A = this chain, B = another copy of it.
Amino acid sequence: MTNRPYHHGDLPTALLAQAEQTLRERGAGALSLRELARDTGVSPAAPSRHFKTKQALLDALALTGFERLAETIAASQESAGESFAERLDAAARAYVGFAVANAALLDLMFSAKHSPEASQALGATAHRWSEQLLGLISDGQRRGEVREGPLERVALPVFAALHGFADLTVSGMLPENAAGYGLDDVIASVLRQCRPE
């Protein structure tokens, strides 16, 4: 362990790592730049060199979230079967699993608070992730297991259903017993809405 050299080494990464831990353990409200600086062993003004503002750090945090979400879903496809139903099932469980395991982060990722410019960068990364879903559906169409139609237009309702369930779960708006049957039913309903005539 270096004993606090003048240059930290990789302050931006250290700040983000610390921020994510605080987010997970104590929620978004407990995130303070000064505390982050203290925990990283650096002066209160140091973070501003790398994140011009607190919101900029939050935006960066959300971005890493989208990246990890994309990886999580990609991983779910590795061990999934071939059929559309199996692949959708795996992706849906991966998404909701990520949401539950990273509730505060998901909140941040889909909050309306992002700066206009950051929203664009986020949109780009979110797009990379949504391509997973698009590929899955496109495959299903080729296999004849998903109805025809423009890819994005078939995909959006699927996306909405999965994200909606994840968000409702995370925000605690689901009835007690919904945890049991909820996800299964959502997946079934997506399959129903996707299947060809």
Contact = CB atoms under 8 A, between A and B. Distances in A.
Contact of A172 (B29, B112, B181): B112
Interface stretch (A8-16, A34-42, A80-88, A161-169): A161-169
B168 A186 contact: no
A123 interface: yes
Interface of A: 27-29, 55, 103-104, 106-107, 110-114, 119, 122-123, 126-127, 152-153, 156-165, 167-168, 170-175, 178, 181-182, 185-186, 188-190, 192-193
Contact of A157 (B110, B159, B173, B185): B185
A171 B113 CA distance: 8
A84 B153 CA distance: 23
Contacts of A164: 159-165, 167
- Majority-rule SS of A interface residues: helix
Contacts of A157: 161, 165, 185-186, 188-190
Contacts of A114: 172
Nearest to A150: B181
Contacts of A171: 110-112
